[in-house]
Structure 1
């Protein structure tokens, strides 16, 4: 081997310059091996990031549901806030009023009253026509009793006291919700035999007392067994409870794991920006799928509850009220995902992205120079902003992300507010940087 081709000692020029250490053939082989290693390394990174991305997309909907389950189950105030609107929902109130009214009227023997009246008239020698008229009073009397009972029950159900009793009962029975989701025990919310029921015993007690005070002694015969409203009937309740147990165990760890996998997918990808854009778009698609799934489950739920058990409008109100925070969280994640994908695209080399950046830059530069001409001088601060634009932009974005992370149950409105503040701060910083004097201006008089 030619000594001229031997690499020099460490730190020498021969070791630092491969062209001086290799022959032409060895140089070509070296370049080929280096390209092959680079391609293989890129493929490994791409494969790893693709696997991480796939896991992220599969876990994203489950993470949203797990966070909702954990939040609703573990936080009593959050649970009460979830179910509180049901007490003032007209459809639910109407269902409760009709149920209680029917039970009271059933316990009032109208036929016995009319028969006793007819017998008394007959014994007193009243004409047969009068006796027959007394017997025909059963229908009008039943209607009158129902009207009176319905009016009394409605006053109880639509009062503020009912809402307070409703919230208080749900707060005290929050442990029963955990039992329902895990399939253990029975309490205010009962689950068993493929049916989920809501116990309204305290409301029944109040209505019974009001009716007795109003003179309806028969109301005291309302059975204690009829104190529930069927919320859900399905043969798949056992499977649903198993799923809920799993999601409850995972709790908030599943969302954290999903975020970590998404970050690793972007970090390991050869093209970070492209992977961020793909991840944002993919998570957006999966959250849209979750919204569609919630709509499908809603239809299944409404079909599973017979109208004789619960009116369709009341069943729809119960479902919509119970999952409304889950819907809000899903929509929020959808908006965040779309915005993330859009920001990643705008930082790319696309023609539309370049046009947007150029237009924004020109506008902010013009505004900054107008301020400078008007006598607003930013001095060294503006120059520092110009020199450290990447750092300031990253800091503002980081602050916006932290604001959303630390926000307690962010909504779409909260996301819009944070984005608006971030954009306003970025625009303001860019204008201040553009208002800084240039070198020739500083050296002038």
Structure 2
């Protein structure tokens, strides 16, 4: 038989053990394959993280736009404080007063007074100075009308009218973003205006009650007040329409991308911390962008169109919930980052974990010494710490997910409850059995121990 054929392994027989050179080559190939696989995972993780970072601020804005579109109560809650804002009340008072006074013909009143003086035979010097009263007459009328208007605007009825008008037009923000009319809030050209026709009617009625008998004969005037003036409103509308289309799905997509990045990463903990850092940074960028947009917007508003104070109040109220949502996501990102660090191998993380374990262990042993032993339930909790911790954290995450627009305070509350429950379970697990009594001395055997 040929020697080469004798050395060949049969299909049924065992394979020959690898030689030293073959084992080295096999190890090299395995390492190369693992390296390629690891590099591929790094590339996929980086791409997913980059996408989640880019879409995170857009997701927050999209969720804000979607909530303002579909939730009437939330929209009314957004604009309701404007009715009590002094700058907005002043702007409405000035607008209504100027419009009403513009229809008071002081020149005609002055001419009538001149004719009356001439008929009564008044001295010429008195007749010639009658036109001086025109300015005083207009100033007095303006002051009187402003007083009445201010009473209406600062009353509780004005706040009710304001809320009712916005509630009836619960799709007003849709009209603003799409440029459609037909509601209390309309977008025309580069301005966003609020219809205050009901307020005008109340002011006319109040003027009649105050003694201005002809106030109800004032012709129809412009019954709108400019809330916002934006030079490029049409471009903003186009962008908001796109965000309104994606709606609530964009935030969900961001969460899915971040979860896939954590799952595909070679180190899940590092990928989770990277995702929290990136999303947190993007939330800070969004807050800075909102502050920058506020400055640009106020610079673009002309004082003759709207007072700077009223424009600032309107902008702040309209983006209030957007800023709140951004801060909430930022707080969650910081919490996830801290949690990822505490579960890591760092010296500080190990020290914090050891302190928590010693604290819960001491408290549990104290309960056991007092006779409050948990027995089998405590042993089960001690043997399933990973499961119970995951369930508690998952319940906290689900609570925030189901909460209707959580605030940073809500996030802090849920976090406190999660930590408290984990500490309580740790104490119950440590109280499963009574602690061993102290031994007689250093001469303990293994069985005694």
What is the match of residue 269 of structure 2? 273
Shift of 1:362: 1.6
Is 2:62 the counterpart of 1:66? yes
Q: How does 1:296-335 map to 2 (within 5 A)?
A: 296-335=292-331
Answer yes or no: is 1:202 the counterpart of 2:198.
yes
Instruction: Tell me what 2:441 maps to.
Output: none
Which of 59, 73, 77 is equivalent to 2:73?
A: 77
Cα offset for 1:88? 1.4
Deviation at 1:322, TM superposition (A): 0.9
Deviation at 1:218, TM superposition (A): 5.1
**How has the CA–CA distance of structure 1 residues 290 and 58 changed in structure 2, closer, same or farther, with 3 Å as cutoff?**
same
Deviation at 1:7, TM superposition (A): 8.7
Structure 1 Cα separation of the partners of residues 363 and 60 of structure 2: 43
**CA drift at 1:130:** 3.8
Please give the alpha-carbon distance, in whole angstroms, between the structure 2 residues aligned to 1:212 and 1:6.
114
Aligned pairs for 1:80-229 (under 5 A) are 80-132=76-128, 134-217=130-213, 219-220=215-216, 222=218, 224-229=220-225
1:240 maps to 2:222:
no
Shift of 1:438: 6.5
Q: Does structure 1 residue 49 correspond to structure 2 residue 45?
A: yes
- Equivalent position of 1:40 in the other structure: 36
Quote the offset at 1:380 in angstroms.
1.2
SS of equivalent residue, structure 1 residue 230: strand
Is 1:252 the counterpart of 2:248? The answer is yes
1:193/1:225 Cα in 2 relative to 1: closer, same or farther (>3 Å)?
A: farther
Instruction: Between 300-309 and 246-255, report the one with greater CA deviation.
Output: 300-309
CA offset at residue 196 of structure 1?
1.9
Q: Is the 8 A contact 1:7 1:21 kept in 2?
A: no
SS in 2 for 1:306: coil
Report the count of equivalent residues: 436
- Please state how far the C-alpha of 1:239 moved relative to its aligned partner: 1.0
Contact 1:107/1:221 (<8 A) preserved: no
Which sections of structure 1, spanning at least 5 residues, go unmatched?
none
CA offsets, 1:226-270, max 9 Å, x none?
Answer: 122222223321111111110000001101111000000000000
Q: 2: CA distance between counterparts of 1:379 and 1:73?
A: 55
User: Residue 186 of structure 2: SS of its match in structure 1?
Assistant: strand
Query: Which of 385, 393, 397 is matched with 1:397 structurally?
Result: 393
What's the CA shift for 1:121? 1.6
What is the TM-score of this pair, normalised by structure 1?
Answer: 0.92
1:132-153 Cα deviation digits (max 9, x unpaired)? 5544333333232122211111
Report whether the alignment pairs 1:359 with 2:355: yes
Question: Please, which moves more after superposition, 395-404 or 360-369?
Answer: 360-369
- Gaps in structure 2 of 5+ consecutive residues: 438-446
SS of 2:171 mapped into structure 1: helix
Q: Give, in angstroms, the shift of residue 187 of structure 1.
A: 3.3
Which deviates more, 175-184 or 249-258?
175-184
- Cα 1:438–1:227 change in 2 (3 A) is same
